[in-house]
């Protein structure tokens, strides 16, 4: 139970930091949505995003073939139960979960990228690419593009 309390305290702390970031930026004349402040705070605090997918098997072609992630491991408590998996690419790590209580579709994960322009060009050059994302050179956190997985989860890649 102490772990749950610690997780809740960390979540509450991250939310408070995001609110403070919004307020401080607003005072300086920069109005950003709370969701962006949460993403930026999560980047600073750390952690591994858990994205809800209905089928890891169906999501893997998007993450592995299109985005270039590697399937690190899979876990299932027993046959017939939901699958939980980790995928990674360089410093980016994601958990994909079929478990009902793990997140919800339409989540957002933000990743700093050393060369967002190179990653963007790489994805555009993929044969049979399911998406052709645009790149926003003037995004609040620097040049950014986003892709949406088959379950509505948004992955934002920004120049670090």
pLDDT in tens, 44-63: 666 788 999 999 999 999 99
118-136 pLDDT per residue, tens: 999 999 999 888 889 999 9
| CA atoms lying within 13 Å on the CB side of residue 87 | 20
Average pLDDT of the chain to the nearest whole number: 85
Query: Could you report the per-residue pLDDT of 7-45, keeping only the tens digit for each?
Result: 444 556 666 777 888 888 889 898 877 666 766 666 566
CA–CA separation, 119 vs 123, rounded Å?
A: 6
Q: Percent of the chain, pLDDT > 70? A: 82
Q: In this predicted structure, what is the pLDDT of residue 12?
A: 64
Kindly report whether the global pTM for this prediction surpasses the value 0.75: no
Closest CA to 147 of 40, 58, 59, 34: 59
Measured distance CA(17)–CA(31) in Å, rounded: 16
């Amino acid at each position: 139970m102490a772990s749950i309390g610690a997780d809740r305290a960390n979540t509450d702390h991250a939310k408070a930091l995001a609110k403070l970031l919004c307020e401080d930026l607003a005072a300086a004349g920069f109005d950003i949505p709370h969701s962006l402040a949460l993403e930026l705070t999560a980047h600073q605090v750390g952690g591994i995003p858990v994205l809800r997918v209905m089928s890891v098997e169906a999501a893997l072609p998007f993450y592995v073939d299109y985005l270039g992630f590697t399937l690190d491991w899979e876990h299932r408590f027993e046959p017939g139960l939901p699958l939980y998996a980790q995928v990674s690419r360089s410093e980016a790590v994601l958990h994909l979960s079929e478990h009902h209580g793990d997140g919800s579709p339409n989540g957002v994960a933000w990743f700093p990228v050393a060369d967002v322009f190179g990653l963007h060009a790489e994805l555009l050059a993929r044969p049979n690419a399911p998406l052709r994302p645009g790149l926003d050179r003037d995004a609040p956190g620097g040049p950014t593009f986003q892709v949406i997985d088959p379950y509505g989860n948004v992955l934002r890649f920004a120049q670090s």
